[in-house]
RNA sequence: GCCCCUGUGGCGGAAUUGGUAGACGCGCGCGACUCAAAAUCGCGUUCCUUCGGGAGUGCAGGUUCGAUUCCUGCCAGGGGCACCA
């Protein structure tokens, strides 16, 4: 008997699907559509296990929905702009474009060995001018709609590399590449007005029912809507007021100071004539934006000498500080401090000896004795020491305080968001050029749409630090579209999150002249099922949601939300290994020694570490292409889906892959051995099947029913278990007559059809072996016969006082009396009842009989 | 610090959502085949047991005829946000 030749058969079917163009689809309003999308990869050059898991899950969904009759769009593309290409250019002198396209070719080949049901005719790479020219046009529309603008804002500046760094590229206040101390610089930056949609983006989260609750929560927190008040504090001796934001206007009577952000305009003004303040600001700057570094930073401030008048008590004056913990980006860049009810304010007050006046009394505290120690009181309570607010609970006091502020004209109730506008300028070469020119006469002028795309120059020099676009000899020299005079191109390029904020829409009409063919996007959008890692729970998903709304606003698409369903997969981990001298060892540098002990290739002992996320630094990575090479794509896919629920982290183990591979071989053997005995494909059902045949039919139909439900709910590990069960049943089945053999064929075919989305090559081959001429990929998903999935008899548990004593077989839906009688006549029940009389008998139909004594 | 999630055999995990805890897989043990090994097949596999049973889903309580499931309080692990006024 022949062994299953994985390689030959897998590539045979991959070619067959491609030749038949099985997965190339067209919009067809007559048919129900289903758009499955996995987050597209960055073309690093090699696929990794995360891709393998992501695309396996997506492919199961795509093939399953396809089998259910939907017109399935399942495209693939490349998130092709980004820093690694420039690093490669600097390190190895290879041009970013060349590096990127070569990587794309390599990764496409690798992905194709997975046997994915992808419409490759729709492939796009975001670094291609045919892609990004549309992005530039969108930007011009956003600009016109007021959704894009330019403003001065603070950035992390690496003085050695002459470049702006993202927050995650600043490590301990130093540039990740140069190691230079990062400075805060103010630069003009292009921004997207995501805050224009703050409320919409927040409220619409409620309707994203097929998103993980975790992601919805993270987005809500990120947007961070908070209700509060803007309050004006007149500055003594000046003709202006300090505007602060507070969520706690009810604590105004507890205010003991006001504080400005180091970046506040008033701070800057004061600093001009105050060297001491300048020194303090310098200190603040050194803290940088590096989060870990400021962790233990003390609350510090500088007394400006100015005094603010309390809005409710003009006689009361509060000192005005500049404080290192006040953010310019949030609220108004200024606060009033109420030490009694805010921890940061309390820390600050203790340091500078400021009064601590409690104004909220905890429910069971005594007003005459209540004091604040080292901890601010932030809980519920009643206002006191607060004049007209006294006696009110926190919420009523807030409302009343706002009412009064508004009446006095010294403030108003407002809503504040944590969400900030999205800065999209990057001082980099390998990104989408921002299509504007700077003219000495006309200022910033958009490039006219007919002049798009603004393409990147190819002859660039990466030998020096800084933006190659900036120092290119000719590229930025151009003429002003308005006045025709000499002008300079914008040398900033877009953040790469911009490309990924609309690629799902481009996939609907990837070759269209216009950016988005309206008929296509109206048919395909929104994405029905989006699949990817949780690491994109906030930024990418929020940007894409914003961008879709902006596109809707500008008339490109008809939907506001891009992703109707979202699934976030877990990470893949592997055991870690270390040699005696503490060096990490890769899994293939380790083997079994005596017993359970591990040794390295020279036989020296190895310590086994915990399972950790695969990473190059810990050397615990496994290359998916090697797995596919050794076992085939089906085995790799099957293992990915077995055992662990897809949203949880899973551990990659050699034993697990072996187990999956064993199943591939077992199924192959089982079916090839038996097919000759089975009736021909398509033989009609024999009349009068025996008990064994009926039992097998029931098992098969029940398996179809539960696998269908499991796949619908992304419970692939359970679906796999059900298919193992059916395989076991089938293996134990001994056909004795024609009827048995007919049932055996039916069950076998159902099994093969259910396995198809997960192991498409094996399924296709077995389908052929079972005598079918047409491809399984075109066969509909099986429908269970519901008359077979309901058992005639059920096993009912019998308990005495809640403890299991026996099980009884009863006809389905048997009457309570019958169940009760059968239960009580069980010897085990009698034995455990002993002398006692049953006081009560609880009967749950088809489930349990509980005798209470 | 705040918010969220997760704790079930040696391991990954099931449990019809309040009704027989441990499906299925891995691992392990025993047996068959073999000169032998691998592969394969069969049986067993939560723990204790005086073989009647008893205990058991992180820990301690509670609700219930009945709790892995619901409630309260702890403990442990993981994640998110982080001077957000």
Give the model confidence (pLDDT) of A130-175 as tens digits.
Answer: 999 999 999 999 999 999 999 888 777 888 877 777 665 666 667 7
* A121 CB closer than 7 A to any strand B atom: no
A 10 A CB-CB count for A645 gives 15
Chain A residues 281-310 with Cβ under 7 Å of strand B are: 287, 291, 294-295, 297, 299
Q: What would the pLDDT profile of A348-390 be if each residue is shown by its tens digit?
A: 888 889 999 999 988 777 888 888 887 788 878 889 999 999 9
Whether the complex's predicted ipTM surpasses the cut of 0.85: yes
Looking at the DSSP assignment, which residues form a beta bridge with residue A322?
A260, A302
A32-219+427-571 has CATH 3.40.50.620 classification: yes
Phi then psi for residue A198, to 5 deg, are -45, -55
Q: What would the pLDDT profile of A4-42 be if each residue is shown by its tens digit?
A: 889 999 999 999 999 999 999 999 999 999 999 999 999
> Would you state the pLDDT for residue A595?
59
Nucleotide nearest to A802 in CA–C1' terms: B66
Q: Which residue is nearest to nucleotide B1 (CA to C1')?
A: A343
**For A74-78, A601-605, A738-742, which range has the lowest pLDDT when averaged over its residues?**
A601-605
A 10 A CB-CB count for A5 gives 12
> Would you state the pLDDT for residue A596?
62
Q: Strand order in A71-73's β-sheet? A: A71-73, A33-38, A529-533, A566-569
Sign of CA dihedral A660, A661, A662, A667: positive
The two structure tokens encoding residue A746: 């039916």
What is the secondary structure of A220-279 as a DSSP string? HHHH-EEEEEEEEEEBTTSS-EEEEEES-GGGGGG--EEEE-TT-HHHHHHHHT-HHHHH
Q: Which residue is nearest to nucleotide B64 (CA to C1')?
A: A802
Phi then psi for residue A212, to 5 deg, are -60, 140
Asked if residue A56 lies in contact with residue A641, where contact means CB atoms within 8 angstroms, the answer is yes
What is the SS3 assignment for A777? helix
A146 conformational bin, left if phi > 0, alpha if psi -120 to 50, beta if neither: left
> Would you state the pLDDT for residue A172?
63
Å between CA of A213 and C1' of B6:
15
Chain A residues 234-263 with Cβ under 7 Å of strand B are: 245-248, 261
Protein-covered nucleotides of chain B (CB closer than 7 Å) are 1, 3-5, 11-16, 19-21, 23-27, 39-42, 52-55, 65-67, 79-85
Nucleotide nearest to A806 in CA–C1' terms: B20
Q: Look at residues A229, A227, A243, A246 and name the one whose alpha carbon lies nearest to residue A413.
A: A229
> Would you state the pLDDT for residue A287?
60
Q: What would the pLDDT profile of A246-266 be if each residue is shown by its tens digit?
A: 999 999 999 999 999 888 999
Return the CATH number of the domain spanning residue range A225-417: 3.90.740.10
Instruction: State what percent of residues in chain A have pLDDT above 70.
Output: 97
Sign of CA dihedral A302, A308, A311, A315: positive
Quickly list H helices, A554-623. Answer: none
Rounded to whole angstroms, the Cα distance separating A281 from A302 reads 9
Helix (H) or strand (E) holding A184: strand A183-192
Domains A225-417 and A648-788 share a fold: no
> Would you state the pLDDT for residue A295?
34
**For A99-103, A164-168, A349-353, A429-433, which range has the lowest pLDDT when averaged over its residues?**
A164-168
A 10 A CB-CB count for A799 gives 18
A793-852 has CATH 3.10.20.590 classification: yes
Q: Look at residues A240, A202, A242, A239 and name the one whose alpha carbon lies nearest to residue A220.
A: A202
Rounded to whole angstroms, the Cα distance separating A646 from A51 reads 13
Nucleotide nearest to A538 in CA–C1' terms: B80
The two structure tokens encoding residue A180: 């230079």
| Domain regions of chain A by residue span | 32-219+427-571, 225-417, 574-613, 648-788, 793-852
> Would you state the pLDDT for residue A505?
97
The two structure tokens encoding residue A361: 């009394």
Q: Look at residues A399, A396, A400, A402 and name the one whose alpha carbon lies nearest to residue A381.
A: A396
Å between CA of A791 and C1' of B59:
41
Asked if residue A634 lies in contact with residue A640, where contact means CB atoms within 8 angstroms, the answer is no
* A227 CB closer than 7 A to any strand B atom: no
> Would you state the pLDDT for residue A792?
82
Helix (H) or strand (E) holding A522: helix A518-524
pLDDT over threshold 60, residue A292 = no
> Would you state the pLDDT for residue A53?
94
Nucleotide nearest to A226 in CA–C1' terms: B84
pLDDT over threshold 90, residue A235 = yes
The whole-chain average pLDDT of chain A stands at: 90
What is the SS3 assignment for A138? helix
* A540 CB closer than 7 A to any strand B atom: no
Å between CA of A724 and C1' of B12:
16
> Would you state the pLDDT for residue A808?
87
Question: What confidence category does residue A400 fall into, taking pLDDT thresholds of 50, 70 and 90?
Answer: very high
How many residues can be counted in chain A?
Answer: 853
Asked if residue A685 lies in contact with residue A785, where contact means CB atoms within 8 angstroms, the answer is no
A648-788 has CATH 1.10.730.10 classification: yes
Question: What confidence category does residue A704 fall into, taking pLDDT thresholds of 50, 70 and 90?
Answer: very high
Rounded to whole angstroms, the Cα distance separating A522 from A22 reads 23
pLDDT over threshold 60, residue A294 = no
* A279 CB closer than 7 A to any strand B atom: no
pLDDT over threshold 90, residue A838 = no
Rounded to whole angstroms, the Cα distance separating A830 from A710 reads 41
* A569 CB closer than 7 A to any strand B atom: no
Q: What would the pLDDT profile of A311-345 be if each residue is shown by its tens digit?
A: 998 889 999 999 888 888 788 889 999 998 888 88
Q: What would the pLDDT profile of A457-484 be if each residue is shown by its tens digit?
A: 999 988 888 889 988 999 999 999 999 9
Å between CA of A841 and C1' of B65:
8
| A616 is annotated as contributing to ligand binding | yes
Q: Look at residues A570, A598, A620, A738 and name the one whose alpha carbon lies nearest to residue A56.
A: A570
Chain A residues 337-356 with Cβ under 7 Å of strand B are: 338, 342-344
Mean of the pLDDT values across residues A407-433? 90
Asked if residue A334 lies in contact with residue A261, where contact means CB atoms within 8 angstroms, the answer is yes
What is the secondary structure of A79-95 as a DSSP string? ---SHHHHHHHHHH---
Q: What would the pLDDT profile of A563-594 be if each residue is shown by its tens digit?
A: 999 999 998 888 888 888 888 888 888 877 66
pLDDT over threshold 80, residue A97 = yes
Q: Look at residues A199, A124, A155, A161 and name the one whose alpha carbon lies nearest to residue A424.
A: A155
Q: What would the pLDDT profile of A503-555 be if each residue is shown by its tens digit?
A: 999 999 999 999 999 999 999 999 999 999 888 888 899 999 999 999 999 99
Residue A773 neighbours by CB under 8 Å, 6+ apart: none
What is the secondary structure of A419-430 as a DSSP string? ---EE-EE--SS
CA distances from A78 to A34, A107, A134, A497 (A): 21, 10, 16, 13
**Alpha carbon A239 to its chain's center:** 50
The two structure tokens encoding residue A492: 């900033």
> Would you state the pLDDT for residue A767?
97
* A609 CB closer than 7 A to any strand B atom: no
Mean of the pLDDT values across residues A598-603? 78
Sign of CA dihedral A67, A70, A71, A74: negative
Helix (H) or strand (E) holding A63: helix A49-67
Token pair 């968001």 is at which residue?
A417
CA angle, corner A27, sides to A26 and A28, nearest 5? 105
The two structure tokens encoding residue A613: 């996320």
> Would you state the pLDDT for residue A289?
46
The two structure tokens encoding residue A723: 């298919």
> pTM to 2 decimals?
0.92
* A848 CB closer than 7 A to any strand B atom: yes
Å between CA of A808 and C1' of B16:
19
**For A224-233, A698-707, A822-831, which range has the lowest pLDDT when averaged over its residues?**
A822-831
Looking at the DSSP assignment, which residues form a beta bridge with residue A530?
A37, A566
Q: Look at residues A82, A95, A103 and name the one whose alpha carbon lies nearest to residue A461.
A: A95
Å between CA of A486 and C1' of B70:
74
| Selection from A171-185, A293-307, A577-591 with the highest mean pLDDT | A577-591
Asked if residue A772 lies in contact with residue A675, where contact means CB atoms within 8 angstroms, the answer is no
Q: Which residue is nearest to nucleotide B4 (CA to C1')?
A: A214
């Amino acid at each position: 008997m022949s062994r299953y030749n994985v390689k030959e058969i897998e590539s045979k079917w991959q070619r067959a699907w491609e030749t038949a163009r099985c997965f190339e689809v067209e919009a067809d309003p007559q048919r129900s559509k289903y758009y499955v999308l996995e987050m597209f990869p960055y073309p690093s050059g090699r696929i990794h296990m995360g891709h393998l898991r992501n695309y396996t899950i997506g492919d199961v969904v795509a093939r399953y929905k396809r089998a259910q009759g939907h017109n399935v769009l399942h495209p693939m593309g490349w998130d092709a702009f980004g820093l690694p290409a420039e690093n490669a250019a600097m390190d190895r002198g290879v041009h970013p474009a060349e590096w990127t396209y070569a990587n794309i070719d390599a990764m496409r080949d690798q992905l194709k060995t997975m046997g994915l049901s992808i419409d490759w005719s729709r492939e796009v790479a975001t670094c291609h001018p045919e892609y990004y020219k549309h992005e530039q046009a969108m930007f011009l529309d956003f600009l016109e709609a007021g959704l894009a603008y330019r403003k001065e804002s603070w950035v992390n500046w690496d003085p050695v590399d002459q470049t702006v760094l993202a927050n995650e590229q600043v490590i301990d206040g130093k540039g990740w590449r140069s190691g230079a101390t990062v400075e805060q610089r103010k630069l003009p930056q292009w921004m997207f007005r995501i805050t224009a949609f703050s409320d919409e983006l927040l409220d619409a989260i409620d309707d994203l029912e097929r998103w993980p609750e975790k992601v919805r929560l993270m987005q809500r927190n990120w947007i961070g809507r908070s209700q509060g008040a803007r309050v004006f504090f007149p500055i003594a001796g000046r003709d202006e007021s300090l505007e602060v934001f507070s969520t706690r206007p009810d604590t105004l009577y507890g205010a003991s100071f006001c504080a400005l952000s180091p970046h506040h305009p008033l701070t800057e003004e004061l600093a001009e004539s105050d060297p001491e303040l300048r020194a303090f600001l310098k200190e603040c700057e050194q803290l940088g934006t590096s989060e870990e570094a400021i962790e233990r930073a003390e609350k510090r401030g500088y007394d400006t000498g100015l005094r603010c008048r309390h809005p409710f008590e003009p006689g009361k004056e509060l000192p005005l500080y500049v404080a290192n913990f006040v953010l310019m980006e949030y609220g108004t860049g200024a606060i009033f401090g109420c030490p009694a009810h805010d921890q940061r304010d309390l820390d600050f007050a203790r340091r500078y000896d400021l009064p601590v006046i409690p104004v909220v009394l905890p429910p069971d505290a005594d007003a005459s004795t209540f004091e604040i120690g080292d901890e601010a009181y932030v809980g519920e309570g009643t206002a006191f020491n607060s004049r007209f607010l006294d006696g009110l609970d926190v919420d009523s006091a807030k409302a009343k305080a706002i009412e009064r502020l508004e009446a006095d004209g010294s403030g108003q109730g407002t809503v504040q968001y944590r969400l900030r506008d999205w800065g999209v300028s990057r001082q980099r070469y390998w990104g989408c050029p921002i299509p504007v020119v700077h003219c000495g006469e006309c200022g910033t002028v958009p490039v006219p749409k007919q002049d798009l795309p603004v393409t990147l120059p190819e002859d660039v020099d990466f030998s020096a630090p800084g933006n190659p676009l900036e120092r290119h000899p000719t590229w930025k020299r151009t003429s002003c579209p308005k006045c025709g005079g000499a002008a300079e191109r914008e040398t900033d390029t877009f953040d790469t999150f911009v490309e990924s904020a609309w690629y799902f829409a481009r996939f609907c009409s990837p070759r269209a002249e216009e950016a988005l063919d309206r008929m296509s996007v109206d048919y395909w959008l929104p994405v029905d099922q989006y699949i990817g890692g949780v690491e994109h729970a906030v930024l990418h998903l929020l940007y894409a949601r914003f961008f879709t709304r902006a596109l809707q606003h500008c008339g490109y698409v008809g939907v506001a939300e891009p992703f109707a369903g979202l699934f976030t997969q877990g990470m893949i981990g592997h055991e870690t290994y270390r040699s005696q001298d503490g060096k990490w060892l890769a899994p293939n540098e380790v083997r079994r020694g005596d017993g359970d002990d591990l040794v390295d290739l020279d036989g020296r002992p190895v310590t086994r570490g915990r399972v950790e996320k695969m990473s190059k630094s810990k050397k615990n990575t496994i290359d998916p292409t090697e797995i596919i090479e050794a076992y085939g794509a089906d085995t790799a896919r099957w293992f990915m889906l077995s055992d662990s629920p897809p949203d949880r982290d899973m551990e990659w183990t050699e034993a697990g892959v072996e187990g999956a591979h064993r199943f591939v071989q077992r199924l192959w053997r089982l079916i090839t051995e038996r097919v000759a005995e089975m009736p021909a494909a398509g033989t009609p059902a024999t009349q009068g099947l025996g008990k064994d045949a009926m039992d097998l039919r029931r098992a098969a139909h029940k398996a179809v029913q539960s696998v269908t439900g499991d796949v619908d709910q992304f419970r692939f590990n359970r679906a796999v278990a059900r298919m193992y069960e059916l395989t076991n049943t089938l293996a134990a089945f001994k056909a004795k007559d024609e009827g048995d053999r007919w049932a055996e064929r039916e069950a076998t075919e159902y099994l093969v059809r259910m396995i198809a989305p997960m192991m498409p090559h094996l399924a296709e081959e077995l389908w052929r072996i079972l005598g079918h001429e047409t491809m399984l990929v075109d066969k509909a998903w099986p429908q269970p016969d519901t008359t077979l999935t309901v058992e005639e008899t059920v096993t009912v548990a019998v308990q005495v006082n809640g403890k299991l004593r026996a099980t009884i077989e009863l006809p389905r839906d048997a009457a309570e009396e019958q169940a009760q009688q059968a239960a009580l006549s069980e010897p085990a029940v009698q034995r455990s009842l002993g002398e006692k009389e049953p006081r009560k008998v609880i009967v749950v139909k088809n489930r349990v009989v509980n005798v209470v004594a």
